[in-house]
Amino acid sequence: MKMDRTAAHGMNAERLARIEAFLQERYVGPGKLPMADVLVAREGETVYRATLGNARADGTTLRENAIFRIASMTKPVTSIVFMQLVEEGKVALDDPVTRVISEFKGLGVYNGGGGAVPFAPPKPCAPMRMVDLMTHMAGFTYGFQNRTSIDAAYRKTLPDGGREMPGFDGFIAELAKIPLEFAPGTAWNYSVATDVLGIVVSRIEGKPLGEVFADRIFGPLGMVDTGFHVPEDQRHRLCDAWAYQSGKPPKLIDQAGKSKLTVPATFEGGGGGLLSTTADYDRFCRMLIGRGALDGTRIVSPKTLDLMTRNHLPGGADLTAMSKSLFSEATNAGIGFGLGFAVNLDPARTLIPGSAGEFFWGGLYSTAFFIDPVEKLHMVFMTQLTPSSSYPVRRQLKTLIYGAVEESYA
């Protein structure tokens, strides 16, 4: 555990110290989580860090430089890069997606069929726009949601943008064969939309997505350990990955020493393919808390970030009104959605401490971050247990962190 300048930033050190004890007693000690690494910062300065548990099943102790699968915490990176392209005039939020992905011409809404029966001809709909991709209002889905015939079609041909898929063109070709769940802009569904957005970025820039990220985000921010694969000489820092089992210890599903994550990905998924460290993702968060800049390097303008962190759901609705998803990266009540981030609209409805305007997201392996511009507060949390719905640890951490705020800036 490390605390730095805590009192100077209006935080209570004794209350922050509850975090490690809580994680150890509730999760790591009993074996519910294999490990936990949490960093809390205020005004861009670290005020608390706790690193506990084992990185691997063989008892290797978790260290501060461990490399984690961050899954859907890739999405905000993709969204920021897309908005850089918007700022440069290369694309606009209201552009039709077919401007870059012509394969989607003629894409329509589900009209029957599926499974053993061919899909019926789809119902025509208004063109999908780039903003629909960013807000998860494009009409796409994820196969793992396991609710509809469309989900089943995704599971058959599109294993949720897995890193071993053959490439972007094949993914788009298969996606274009499957009807949309709803007309773009009319509902919200957590989906492969950000993978499609990553493909838009790659096609506009004429480069693999990993190169675009390196040029535009990782290099400028000094995120030296973030990418779509782990170099072989850094394999020793990679954590094992585990899956929740009801009533049983977690199941080891990807052993770091044998993992294929050291092999470059053939599908660099903008929706979920990155690996990173707590320190690297903290650099990304410091850029966000710095209103788009870090250490003199401007990534996006403050006004662009303001636009991204406003609620873009129609009529100011929250996800309880708009979501068709089975997902757990955000609770629905009082939560809206912006351009790549969930947005806290009303802390009273969320039933946990927070600020209106806070934005955040998480990943399949139970990782998470949040940015509170009001309190100038942010958190990065890393572990490696799937699915992220296994435990309410992320809500509990937020409660503990806000409970340690001694001086509010609101």
Q: Which domains does the chain have, with CATH numbers?
A: 79-205 (3.40.710.10)
Chain segment 296-306, per-residue pLDDT in tens = 999 999 999 99
Q: Does the pLDDT of residue 11 top 50, yes or no?
A: yes
**pLDDT at residue 2 in the model:** 47
Contacts of 89 (CB under 8 A, 6+ apart): none
- In DSSP notation, 225-277 reads T-BSS--GGGGGGBPPEEEEETTEEEEEEE-GGG-GGGSPPSS--TTT--EE-
Q: Does the pLDDT of residue 385 top 70, yes or no?
A: yes
The Cα angle at residue 50 between residues 47 and 51, in degrees rounded to 5: 145
Q: Does the pLDDT of residue 280 top 90, yes or no?
A: yes
Q: Does the pLDDT of residue 390 top 60, yes or no?
A: yes
Looking at per-residue pLDDT, the higher value among 380 and 325 belongs to: 380
Q: Does the pLDDT of residue 343 top 70, yes or no?
A: yes
Q: Does the pLDDT of residue 392 top 90, yes or no?
A: yes
Mean pLDDT for 322-348 is 84
Give the confidence band of 6 by pLDDT, cuts at 50, 70, 90. Answer: confident
Mean pLDDT for 1-8 is 62
Closest CA to 134 of 70, 216, 79: 79
Chain segment 199-245, per-residue pLDDT in tens = 999 999 999 999 999 999 999 999 999 999 999 999 999 999 999 99
Looking at per-residue pLDDT, the higher value among 393 and 148 belongs to: 393
Mean pLDDT for 378-385 is 98
Using CA atoms, how far residue 139 sits from 127, 162, 255, 274, 363, in Å, is 11, 20, 35, 24, 21
**Contact call for residues 45 and 244 (beta carbons, < 8 A):** no
- CB neighbour class for 276 (10 Å; exposed up to 12, middle 13-18, buried from 19): buried
Share of the chain above pLDDT 90, in %: 85
Give the confidence band of 19 by pLDDT, cuts at 50, 70, 90. Answer: very high
Q: Does the pLDDT of residue 185 top 80, yes or no?
A: yes
Chain segment 60-105, per-residue pLDDT in tens = 999 999 999 999 999 999 999 999 999 999 999 999 999 999 999 9
Closest CA to 276 of 68, 73, 39, 80: 68
Mean pLDDT for 13-27 is 97
**Average model confidence (pLDDT) across the chain:** 94
